[in-house]
Structure 1
Amino acid sequence: MLRLGGYLNILIAILHIVGLFWADKMFEVTGIADGMALAAQNIHPMYPYFITVVVAIFFFIFGIYGLSADGKIRKLPFLKPVIFLIAGIYLLRGIGELIFDMEMQQTNQILETSYSLIAVLIGLLFLIGGIRKWRK
């Protein structure tokens, strides 16, 4: 489970970087085009690219921690708490967004619900994988 969660995070990180070649379309598809356009206008034109790279780095780090917990790469520091922190971040994001979408009835509900369910799935992979690993 941790291995799958790790590989999914690395895939998400790669998709973020590759998506930068079509940034406007990627921002539109993910529903953040307006926010990124506003950030580019108010903060700096490169800000949307910068923040996307930062997010990709976090996904990559999450992926590396998943692989480390599964024993695929060397043991990283603070492995146990970080695995459960990653699980918590994903579950909070996924469940929180689902609750928010139900209350707000946003227009892009199917897309947002899909992203939320993916977040919950990855969070459960890390949570259940971590519990199984450290139950012994």
Structure 2
Amino acid sequence: MFGAPWYQFLGAGERLARLAEAGHWYPTVMALVIASVLLVWASYAWSGAGAMRRLPFVRIVLCLVSAIYIGRGLGFVIIMPYFPGNSMVFWLVSSAICLGAGLIHAIGLRQVWSRL
């Protein structure tokens, strides 16, 4: 909706921004896939918190989600070489957000574990 500048601002890299600028389908599909995954993860978090009906495999999924977020937050140095277009500010900010989300998920999961 906001075009190539937003892909750059959000750290998608120069290549993806150029594809978006050219009207290519790939950046849009990738954004939708990522948004869908995050929506599923959020649904499981709400389910685990009791705010919506219980979803299947809620314990396993929430453990995996927590581990993925924490792993991304702590392991950014390992994946940095695969995305050379991203700035250090992007890596530090996005990693802090992921680590924070992972810790919040893990703390919440520990609090409700017996009810799951």
Q: Which runs of 5+ in 1 are unaligned?
A: 1-20
Cα displacement (A) at 1:132:
1.7
Correspondence for 1:89: 68
Give per-residue Cα distances to partners, 1:27-72, cap 9 Å, x unaligned. 111222323157x49xx92011001001000111111110000000
From 35, 41, 51, give the equivalent of 2:15.
35
Correspondence for 2:56: 77
TM-score (normalised: structure 1)? 0.70
1:61 matched to 2:27:
no
Q: 1:111 to 1:129 in 2, by over 3 A?
A: same
TM-score (normalised: structure 2)? 0.81
1:48 matched to 2:27:
yes
1:26 matched to 2:6:
yes
Give per-residue Cα distances to partners, 1:9-31, cap 9 Å, x unaligned. xxxxxxxxxxxx11311111122
**Separation (CA, whole Å) in 1 of partners of 2:44 and 2:92:** 26
Q: 1:128 to 1:98 in 2, by over 3 A?
A: farther
**Separation (CA, whole Å) in 1 of partners of 2:103 and 2:55:** 21
Q: Which runs of 5+ in 2 are unaligned?
A: none
The one-letter amino acid of 2:4's match is D
Report % sequence identity.
26
Correspondence for 1:9: none
How many equivalent pairs are there?
Answer: 109
RMSD: 2.4
